[in-house]
Amino acid sequence: MNNFYIDLKMTDDDKFLDKLRNISDEIKGKKDISITFEKGTYELKDDNAIKEFQQLMEGTLDYDTHWGKYGFPYNIGVLFENVDNLVIDGRGSTLMMHGLISPFTFKKCKNVVFKNIIIDWDRPPFSVGEIKSISGDEITVNIFDDFPVKGKEPVWALMDYDPFNRHFGLIWKFRNMSQFELIEPGVIKFNASVAKDLTIGNYLVLRHVGNYRPCIHILESENLYFDSITLYNNPGMGVVGHYSKTITFRNLQVKPKDNRIMSTTTDATHFINCEGLLDFENCYFEGMGDDAINVHGFYNYITEILDEHTVEVTILNENGTQDQVFDVPRKGDTVEFSKVSDLKPFESNTVSEVTVDDENWKATITFTDSIDENIVVGDLLTKSNDVAALRFVKCHVNNIRARACLIQTRNVVIEDCLIENCTGTGIHVDTATGWWESISCENVVLRNNTIKDCGYGDGTYNNTSGIVVITECEENAVGVHKNIIIENNNIYGNENTGITLSCTDGSKIFNNIIRNCDIALEIMSCDNIELYNNSIGNQKIIFRRD
């Protein structure tokens, strides 16, 4: 085994990123590599990343992250490419990032162990302060000392925080707010239409940038193991996996440092068109600007039927994919077809050839069998073979904006988790036309979880606190989702709905305890549902056929 031991002293910290880049270049295409850090705190500095962040904070760079759009270059920290059997052990080291940068990318790698590392930012891309006064749309805020401001910093989004109850509040606003005006050291004012809904004395988290690139990007890689990784912050998502297989997380910590309140500015973890098992155990998530986990594929929209075997497709989501890699089934994949109106699968076929036009986000797909006569322009297709299974066990999600778990995949177990103080619904089982994220869900087990004080703000679906199983499309159809088991969960709601189940066939809800909800269970557009031994007191059960 080739051993790379990094013995970097404080005197040459500024060269640490360059050294890591040199190593990653040297080991490209090789195998059996071990990289071990001497425990310490290292500064990772990239001149362009620092320059762009300075421009952002001066209000001269687009806060809506053109880097998040396809075709725009962005700052990559270290790229590990085509490495087999790679071990990276930080031994508890802290990697201090500077500016707008995506720290680590694993591309076409196999058998990777990444462990004992803390990733932080010297100046996170948000500020936190206490609301001092409100006058009309004008808000004055005392910014905390850890977030130095000069004035002219943009506000891409804001959310309020209750320091007494220690959780995010009801207010979340994107875009269309003025820049900071510095009226005295550490005191700023700006305008936002939600000012009247805020409370003097509460805190504000003020994001200066939209969704930048991932902290850890996993692309076309297989068998990765992450152990004892802490992400204090990232100006975008924490971990994004795409076209990858079998990823394991143990003791992943995505949480704010000290009084920062926010950790990653969007999802903690996000997986697109992955395979094998995504395996989480004993992980902790807090303070994100979006979900703790989202697992999904993408619906491809049929724009043209070229012949009896061939179609042209695109993705309708104007934001692209979360890592701006065009997502389309590959040769040998099985796909399911559905209508936009209800997303219920009605036909399948096998891909024999794919030609991708990355520049225009289009693909030509040829199938083994003739295309069914019921398939027309405007229908959807999505990969259905070996979609990622999920195991999410003994994890804790606390105080985030949006949902803990957004599930759009098959063969799922969420078990023995504590989910609390999420502004959105605790667990959301879904398939949707809004972001065009697939696939309809099957074989989902939600068991022995405690979900409390969720579903009171942004990210709440069907006014549901605990668990919601729905489709986001024009029509409800029975049997979009299949075999959903909701067993032995303890749900304490917010005088709303405990569990919503819709568009399913063959599901069970039993041995659950539901408290402090107006409606314990709402069941709509479902067949073959078993309900028994649920403790709901005087709360209502509603059945509907929409």
pLDDT digits (tens, 9 = 90+) for 271-312: 999 999 999 999 999 999 999 999 999 999 999 999 999 999
pLDDT the model gives residue 4: 56
Burial of 185 (0-12, 13-18, 19+ CB in 10 A): exposed
- Span 215-240, average pLDDT: 97
pLDDT digits (tens, 9 = 90+) for 44-56: 999 999 999 999 9
pLDDT the model gives residue 319: 82
The answer on pLDDT for 490 being more than 70 is yes
Residues 395 and 283: beta-carbon distance below 8 Å: yes
**In the sheet that 167-174 helps form, which strands lie side by side, from edge to edge?**
167-174, 157-162, 203-207, 126-135, 138-143, 187-191, 181-184
The position carrying tokens 């962005």 is 74
Residue 264 is given by DSSP the state B
The answer on pLDDT for 228 being more than 60 is yes
In percent, the amount of the chain with pLDDT more than 90 equals 91
Under the banding of pLDDT at 50, 70 and 90, the label for residue 6 is low
- Span 193-219, average pLDDT: 95
Under the banding of pLDDT at 50, 70 and 90, the label for residue 2 is low
- Span 36-50, average pLDDT: 93
pLDDT the model gives residue 9: 53
Give the C-alpha separation, 411 to 483, whole Å.
Answer: 10
pLDDT digits (tens, 9 = 90+) for 150-189: 999 999 999 999 999 999 999 999 999 999 999 999 999 9
- Give the list of residues 6+ apart from residue 435 with CB closer than 8 angstroms, or none: 317, 319
pLDDT digits (tens, 9 = 90+) for 445-455: 999 999 999 99
pLDDT the model gives residue 162: 95
Under the banding of pLDDT at 50, 70 and 90, the label for residue 1 is very low
pLDDT the model gives residue 201: 97
- CATH numbers and ranges of domains, the chain: 2-121+212-266 (2.160.20), 126-207 (2.40.10.170), 297-388+420-546 (no CATH)
